[in-house]
Chains A and B, each alone.
Chain A
Amino acid sequence: MNRTLSTLWQTMRTDWRALALWGLSFAILAQVLMMIALMVRFQDVPNYVEFYDWFGNVFWIIQSTPSWGDIPPIIAEEWLIEIGFMNYDYGMGISEWSLNVIPSRMVVLFGLGALVGLCRTLARSNTCSLEERRGLTAATGVGTVLVSMTNATMSWVVCCAAPSWVVGLAMLGLGVSTSLAIQDLGPLISGSGFAVLGTLALYLSWTKSRGLRMNGVASHA
C-alpha cells in the first residue's frame, strides 16, 4: 500500500502542472457545456451578464455570521458571474434561464478534472488490453458524470421555494418525480463519483508500482 501511495504522490508531484491544467480546463469546459446545453434547450442566446463581488461578499459573510459552522454552506452558494436570458415580454424583464458561475462548484469541478487527469497520466504509463482499456474509460466516465451532474449550476424561476442542483437537470428535461426523488442524494452521488475515480487512481497506481505489464498496447482511460 505504501508503494502504491508513494507512486501516486510521485506522479502528482511530477505532473502537478498538467493536473492543474486538467482541473482548470474541466472547470471551464463544464461551464461552456452547460451554456451550450441551455442555448440548445431554450433556442436563445444569453442577453445579459452580471458580475458579483465574490471576495467582498465572502468577507462580509465571514464578518457577519456568528457561527463558523454556518459560514461554509452560505459561501458555497455565492455567485461570481450570472449569464442568462432576460425575457422582456413580461414586466420589466424576467430572467428566463441563467448559468451561474459559482466558485465553490468550480473548485469541485477543478478537483474532478485533476483526478481525471491523474487517472489518465497513470493509465498512460501502463499497458492494458482493449477490455481493460474500455473498463477504465467507462469507470472514468461514470465518475465524471456523477460528480458533474451534481454540480450543475443552471437555474430558472422554477426554484421558487427550494433551489437545488436538480433544477439544472429539470431544465434539460428530467422528470419532476425523478428529480425530486434524487434531490437529497446529491452528496451521495457526488461522493460516489469521486470514490470511483479515487479507486481507479489507486488501482492504476498499484499496477504501476508493481510494474505489472498488462497485455495490449499502451493506452489511457
Chain B
Amino acid sequence: MTMIPKFGLPILALGLTSLAASVSAETIPIAIGHQSMCTDTYTAGIVIKELGLLEKYLPTDGDYADVEYDISWADYSSGGPITNQMLANKLNFGVMGDYPLIVNGAKFQETESLRTLYVAGTGYNLKGSGNAIVVPVDSDIYSITELEGMEVSTPVGSAAWGMLLKAMADNGIATDQYVLKNQSPAVGAANIAAGKIDAHSDFCPWSEIMEFRETGRKIYDGSETGVPYLHGVVVREDFAQEYPEVVTAFVMAVYEAGDWIREDPMRAVTMMEGWTGVEKEVLYLYFSVGGHLTLDPTIKPEWTEALKFNHGVLVQEVSVPPLDFDAWITEDYVKAAYEALGEDYEAEKAIAVDPAVANAGLPLEIWHAREGILTFDDAPSFLAAMAEIQMEASKVNATYVYDVDTGLKLFGKTAFWVQSGDDFTTFLRKGEAEEFAAANGGTLIEFEDAILGFMPTEG
C-alpha cells in the first residue's frame, strides 16, 4: 500500500485546483469596429475605448469569474468595411450610421447562418441634421433650388446621399436635372476648397469641418428633410447569444460615455480632438448643449420607421437585400443595461428632442481660447463681448449662434445676421435672412460688421 505523505495532500489539492482553474479559464475576445471620423459614433467607439468604460462594466462574477477579456478596437473610415469584417467574424460589434446599419442587417440576413442584432443607438438628430449640402465659400449659390443643372457630389450609399436624393426631390429637382458625382468625403472636401465642384453633400462632421476651415458654406441642412439621422450599435447574434452580459455591459458603457460628454462638453471635445484629430470647435457643434446630436441609446419607434424609409431608398437605388426589422432590432440588451444602471428606459425612450423647440432661448456662446466657453443671453451682449475681445486682441476659438427657423447650432462667422433696430437675428441661409429683413425692416449684415457696431468710438 502506498502512503501519501501528509504534507503531500495539500500540494496535490493545490495542483488539482490550479489545473481545474486553467481548464475553466477562458479568454473572450471582444472586437469592436468604430469610426473616429464620424462624430455620431463616438459614444460607442472612441470615448469607450479611451476611457476604458467597457472594462468597467464587463462581468467578472458567476459564469465570468475565471474569464479574461481580450478587447480590440479597429478604426474604419466608413461602415461598409465594418460589415465585411463582422461577416468574417473578425469583429463582434460594429458602430455605424443608419444607411450602413441597414446594409449590415440585410447582408447578414442574406446569409444562411449568420445574423446581427441592432442593440442600441448612440445618438440622433430628430430632423436629420448632421447631413448637409455645402458649396464653395465664394459660390453665388445660396439655395438648393439653384442646384438645377449643376454638378453635385456625394458619397453614394451614405446617409448624405439618401438625404440629397430626398432633398432634391422635395425641391422639385429631378435626378436628370443635375449631374450627380460619386466622391468620398475627403475628395469632396478638397474639391469644394478648390472650387472644382458646384456642391457636395456629406455626413457628420464633414460639412462643419468645411465651414470651420472657411472653405465651404452650408446651403441646406439635413433637418429640412425631416427624416431622423441616427447611428447605432450592431452585434453578431452568435456572440450575443453566447455572451449576453457582455453586450449589456457594452450598452452600459455607451450610456456612461454620453453622461461623460454631457457632464462637461468642452472637456469632452478637447479630449476627443486629441483622440480623433477632428477640430474641437467642430465637435462642440455636435456635443454641446443645443448641439446637432442628442446622445441617447434608446431605440424609439420613430427610429424603426426612419430605418424602414432608408431601407426603401437603398432597395430602390442599390438593390440592397430585404431586411426583417422585427428579427433584427431588439431592445433586450439596452433595457437590461438601463435596469442595471438604475435608469428609467421607458421615460428616456419617450423623449425625442426637437432642436427647433429645445434650442429656443439657449444662450449664444463664445469659446475664448483662454477663458473657455462664455455664454450670453442676447445677441447685443454677445456682440459687445466679441468687440471687447477683439479690442484686447484675445484669441477666440469659435462662436456659436442658432438658426432662428430650425434651432440649428451654427458658427457665428457662417451665420447670416439681420439687424432690426437694436435686435439681431441669425439664420442658416441667406434667403430666409433676406425675407426676414424685408418683413421686419431689417438689414442683412456680415458678422464682422455686427461686431464693429459695438466697438467703442474714439472721442
User: Using a CB–CB distance below 8 Å, which chain A residues touch chain B?
Assistant: 42, 57, 60-61, 64-67, 69-70, 74, 77-78, 87, 89-97, 156-163, 167, 170-171, 175-177, 179-180, 183-184
A184: B residues at CB distance < 8 A: 319
Q: Are A57 and B184 in contact (CB under 8 A)?
A: no
What residues on A are CB-neighbors of B187 within 8 Å?
42, 96-97, 156
Inter-subunit contact B114/A70 (CB<8 Å): yes
B318 close to chain A: CB less than 8 A: yes
Let me know if B185 is at the binding interface, CB within 8 A.
yes
The answer to whether A61 touches B88, judged by C-beta atoms less than 8 angstroms apart, is yes
**B308 within 8 Å of A by Cβ?**
no
Any chain A CB within 8 A of the CB of B235?
no
Which 8 residue pairs across A and B have the least CB separation, nearest first? A161-B157, A67-B113, A160-B158, A91-B277, A66-B113, A67-B112, A157-B184, A156-B184
B457 adjacent to chain A (CB < 8 Å): no
Check A162 against B314 for contact (C-beta < 8 Å): yes
Q: Please measure, in the bound complex, the distance between the C-alpha atom of A162 and the C-alpha atom of B110, giving whole angstroms.
A: 14
Q: How far is the CA of A28 from the CA of B325 in the complex (A)?
A: 43
What would 17 more interface pairs be, CB under 8 Å, given A87-B186, A92-B276?
A: A57-B90, A60-B89, A70-B114, A90-B278, A91-B278, A92-B277, A157-B185, A158-B155, A158-B157, A160-B78, A160-B99, A161-B80, A162-B318, A170-B182, A176-B180, A180-B317, A180-B318
A102 to B87, CA, bound (A): 16
Contacts of A87 in B (CB 8 A): 186, 190
The residues in B between 251 and 294 inclusive whose CB is less than 8 angstroms from any CB of A are: 276-278
Considering the chains assembled together, what is the distance between the CA atoms of A39 and B456 in angstroms? 56
A65-B103 in contact given A57-B88, A162-B318 (Cβ < 8 Å): no
Known: A61-B88, A67-B111, A94-B37. A158 touches B277 (CB 8 A): no
CB distance B88 to A60 under 8 Å?
yes
Given the interface pairs A90-B186, A177-B175, the reply to whether A161 lies near B99 with Cβ below 8 Å is: yes
Chain A contacts of B114 at CB under 8 A? 65-67, 70
**Can you sample 8 A-B contacts with CB below 8 Å?**
A87-B186, A91-B276, A96-B184, A160-B99, A160-B159, A160-B161, A161-B318, A176-B156
Known contacts A157-B78, A161-B99: A91-B37 contact under CB 8 Å: yes
* B182 engages A158 (CB within 8 Å): yes
In the complex, the answer to whether A92 meets B88 with C-beta atoms within 8 Å is: no
Q: How far is the CA of A158 from the CA of B103 in the complex (A)?
A: 14
Q: How far is the CA of A60 from the CA of B161 in the complex (A)?
A: 35
Kindly list chain A residues whose C-beta atoms are within 8 Å of the C-beta of B189: 90
Cβ contacts under 8 Å, B203 to chain A: 160
Closest to A159 in B: B80
Contacts of B209 in A (CB 8 A): 90
Interface residues of B in 84-142 (CB under 8 A from A): 84, 87-90, 97, 99-100, 102-103, 111-114
Contact pick for A161, options B113, B277, B314, CB 8 Å: B314
Instruction: Please give me the residue from chain A that is nearest to B100 by CB atom.
Output: A161
Task: Tell me the complex Cα distance, A177–B316, Å.
Answer: 12
**Measured between C-beta atoms, what is the minimum distance from B103 to chain A in Å?**
5
Q: Tell me which of A66, A156, A176 has the highest count of chain B C-beta atoms within 10 A of its own C-beta.
A: A176
Given A159-B78, A161-B100, A161-B158, A65 and B184 touching (CB < 8 A)? no
The residues of A that contact B159 with a CB separation of less than 8 Å are 160
Most B-side CB within 10 Å, residue of A42, A74, A162, A175 = A162
Q: How far is the CA of A94 from the CA of B187 in the complex (A)?
A: 11
Asked if A90 and B89 sit within 8 Å, CB to CB, the answer is no
User: A167 — which chain B residues lie within 8 A by C-beta?
Assistant: 182
Instruction: Report the minimum CB–CB distance from B139 to chain A (whole Å).
Output: 21
B359 close to chain A: CB less than 8 A: no
B36 at interface by CB-CB < 8 Å: yes
Tell me the bound Cα distance from A55 to B113 in angstroms.
22
User: Which interface residue of A61, A65, A67, A97 has the most chain B CB atoms within 10 A?
Assistant: A65
- A157 lies within 8 A of B175 (CB): no
User: Within the complex, what minimum Cβ distance (angstroms) separates B107 from chain A?
Assistant: 8
Tell me which of B37, B100, B183, B314 contacts A158 (CB under 8 A). Answer: B183
B77 at the A interface (CB under 8 A): yes
Structural contact, A95 and B77, CB atoms closer than 8 A: yes
Q: Is B56 an interface residue (CB 8 A)?
A: no
Alpha-carbon gap, A183 to B277, bound state (A): 35
Q: How far is the CA of A177 from the CA of B165 in the complex (A)?
A: 12
CA–CA, A74 and B75, complex, Å: 20
A94→B90 CA distance, assembly (Å): 21
With A and B bound together, what is the CA distance between A42 and B196 in angstroms? Answer: 14
Q: Is the CB of B183 within 8 A of A96?
A: no
| Minimal Cβ-Cβ distance residue in B for A88 | B277
Q: Is B79 an interface position by the 8 A CB rule? A: yes
Q: Which residue of A lies closest to B321 (CB)?
A: A162
Given A160-B155, A160-B157, CB of A92 within 8 Å of CB of B36:
yes
* Closest chain B residue to A42, Cβ basis: B187
Asked if A77 and B87 make an inter-chain contact with CB atoms under 8 angstroms apart, the answer reads yes
B453 within 8 A of A: no
Complex Cα gap A154–B97 (Å): 23
Contact among A57, A97, A163, A179 with B80 in the assembled complex (CB-CB below 8 Å) = A163
